[in-house]
Structure 1
Amino acid sequence: MKVLIVSDSHGLKEELIELKNRYMTEVDAMIHCGDSELESSSNELSGFLVVKGNCDFDRSFPSDQLVNLNHLPFYITHGHLYNVKMTLLNLRYRAEEVGAKIVCFGHSHIAGAELIDGILFINPGSIRLPRMRKEKTYSILEIDDNKNAIVRFYSIDGLEIPGLKVACKIG
Structure 2
Amino acid sequence: MKALIISDSHGLIDELTELKIRHKDADVFIHCGDSELDFGHEALDGFQYVRGNCDFDSRFPKSISKEMLGYRFFVTHGHLYNVKMTLMNLSYQAEEEQAEIVCFGHSHIAGSEMIGGRLFINPGSIRLPKGIRDKTYVLLDMQSRHVTVQFYSMDGNLIKNLSRTYHFE
- Tell whether the structures are fold-level matches, with TM greater than 0.5: yes
What is the alpha-carbon distance in structure 2 between the residues aligned to residue 153 and residue 70 of structure 1? 19
Equivalent AA in structure 1 for residue 91 of structure 2: R
1:127 matched to 2:126: yes
1:164 partner SS: coil
Deviations 1:87-136 (A, max 9, x none): 00000000001100000000000000000010000000000000000000
Matches within 5 A, 1:64-143: 64-143=63-142
1:41 matched to 2:40: yes
2:120 partner SS: strand
Q: CA deviation at 1:137?
A: 0.3
> Any unmatched runs of 5+ in structure 1?
none
What is the alpha-carbon distance in structure 2 between the residues aligned to residue 33 and residue 170 of structure 1? 23
1:20 partner SS: helix
1:62 partner SS: coil
Instruction: Give the match for residue 6 of structure 1.
Output: 6
What is the alpha-carbon distance in structure 2 between the residues aligned to residue 89 and residue 166 of structure 1? 22
What is the alpha-carbon distance in structure 1 between the residues aligned to residue 18 and residue 2 of structure 2? 18
Instruction: Give the match for residue 58 of structure 2.
Output: 59
Equivalent AA in structure 2 for residue 114 of structure 1: E
> Identity of aligned pairs, percent?
56
Instruction: Give the match for residue 150 of structure 1.
Output: 148
Runs ≥4 residues deviating over 2 A: none
Deviations 1:71-102 (A, max 9, x none): 21000000000000000000000000110000
TM-score normalised per structure 1: 0.97
Equivalent AA in structure 1 for residue 72 of structure 2: P
What is the alpha-carbon distance in structure 2 between the residues aligned to residue 91 and residue 143 of structure 1? 23
Report the aligned-residue RMSD.
0.7
Q: CA deviation at 1:67?
A: 1.5
What is the alpha-carbon distance in structure 1 between the residues aligned to residue 10 and residue 151 of structure 2? 19
**Aligned residue pairs, count:** 169
2:161 partner SS: helix
What is the alpha-carbon distance in structure 2 between the residues aligned to residue 170 and residue 108 of structure 1? 26
